[in-house]
Structure 1
């Protein structure tokens, strides 16, 4: 167990770099904060490289973290490496999760096309987990999975199901090969999800907050759905819309 007193320590500087995409890619690692995320990482056998503990924080005795280096730091150092206004006393550096070899099979998937807000992306991953999906696929232009706000917004769901990245066109082709319906989202040319029959298998695509789905991707879909708006709002938040659709299209009777 090591102790670090100074915010200028090289180790601290390295941890701070993990809040940038470049830093994460160079280290093949990401940082999580707070007891809930750390506990979820432990439960799901995520490879934890380092644990950073504020000196007065009491680590739960039930936690078993093998092969990790432990560092104790004072409050001022923890504040310096935290991405939140109020640090929760513990953080951990984890090895990036390799889901790249996971091949999609028949099931239920959420495809995210160019959604840039990390809070929305994290919320959709959490919602997909709650709705019993088999995986989430992040397309080009979507917020980075290991962005700290994405991770916090998932509330640990990032560790519960496969999360893939890549060209959505290739994934659409794969879903069509295995006869999984590909469902787009669009106000124009779409039909109300309320008229849709319940599906046990699907690949639902949601698009950018402002522009919606990429038109080229929309043209490849088997159908497009929209959510009726009864009030005066022009649109729904993309994460809210995804939640309604993920539950709605598999539970219609």
Structure 2
């Protein structure tokens, strides 16, 4: 049992709270039974599992190195106020845009809850890829991970320069729609392409002008009431479900 927050192993786990360390180590932390189960089902590389004294240890976990820790150590590692008492160290995966049918591109959305919610919604709507542009909340931020509810393990998700990515998407025959009011058409008046990428942008500024200029089509959502705009995650949900491929 690990009892001290000064233990070198504990220090290495705590470092993973910082993006710089996650990037350099190629690892991140997940917390809770559900997320660990989703990582296992999706066959992500689980390096080790950490459990608080008194927490239940699932049978399948015995395939991985297990570390029992005291309450004070768990509180030093966790990011939640009421932790479930179980965490895992996971290795990152490299995403790919090789087989995109439906993709969501996220430009400089900084709220982790919005980013995680959009990933979860993209998964539910049958999108296969999410690409996070520069300035967007880190995929492996604890709040993003929790908001995805495990959907980050089900899809191709990666971070990239969106200007470069859009050129690559077009070369693969993927039509790009950008949200925005300038020279935009209502989404429901448009034919839905066979392969489609949708870009949503920063909560206050929307999609950057230079990125929007590269899109094949600018789209907007009608506002029937007096609200000026929709929350970015809601707007993304409307567009993704409207353009989802029906199975």
Q: Structure 2 length normalisation: TM-score? A: 0.94
Q: Deviations over 1:132-186 (max 9, x none)?
A: 1121111111111111111111111111011122111222112222222110000
Secondary structure, counterpart of 2:126 in structure 1? coil
Deviation at 1:64, TM superposition (A): 4.3
1:126 pairs with 2:120: yes
Asked whether the 8 Å contact 1:197–1:249 carries over to 2, the reply is: no
Task: State the partner residue of 1:179.
Answer: 173
Match of 1:225 among 202, 205, 219: 219
Q: Equivalences for 1:207-218 in 2 at 5 Å?
A: 207-218=201-212
1:242 pairs with 2:236: yes
Match of 1:97 among 88, 93, 96: 93
Which segments of 5 or more consecutive residues in structure 1 lack a partner in the other structure? Answer: none
Task: State the partner residue of 2:3.
Answer: 5
Asked whether the 8 Å contact 2:126–2:244 carries over to 1, the reply is: no
Measured at CA, do residues 106 and 119 of structure 1 come closer, stay the same or move farther in structure 2, by a change above 3 Å? closer
- Distance in 2 separating the partners of 1:65 and 1:28: 23
Q: Structure 1 length normalisation: TM-score? A: 0.92
- Distance in 2 separating the partners of 1:229 and 1:65: 53
Q: Deviations over 1:9-32 (max 9, x none)?
A: 222222111110011122221000
Task: State the partner residue of 1:148.
Answer: 142
- Distance in 1 separating the partners of 2:2 and 2:113: 32
Task: State the partner residue of 1:23.
Answer: 21
Task: State the partner residue of 2:74.
Answer: 78
Q: Tell me the matched-pair count.
A: 246
Which segments of 5 or more consecutive residues in structure 2 lack a partner in the other structure? Answer: none
Asked whether the 8 Å contact 2:100–2:129 carries over to 1, the reply is: no
Secondary structure, counterpart of 1:124 in structure 2? helix
Measured at CA, do residues 64 and 8 of structure 1 come closer, stay the same or move farther in structure 2, by a change above 3 Å? closer
- Distance in 1 separating the partners of 2:217 and 2:62: 47
Asked whether the 8 Å contact 1:192–1:226 carries over to 2, the reply is: yes
Task: State the partner residue of 1:198.
Answer: 192
Asked whether the 8 Å contact 1:114–1:142 carries over to 2, the reply is: yes
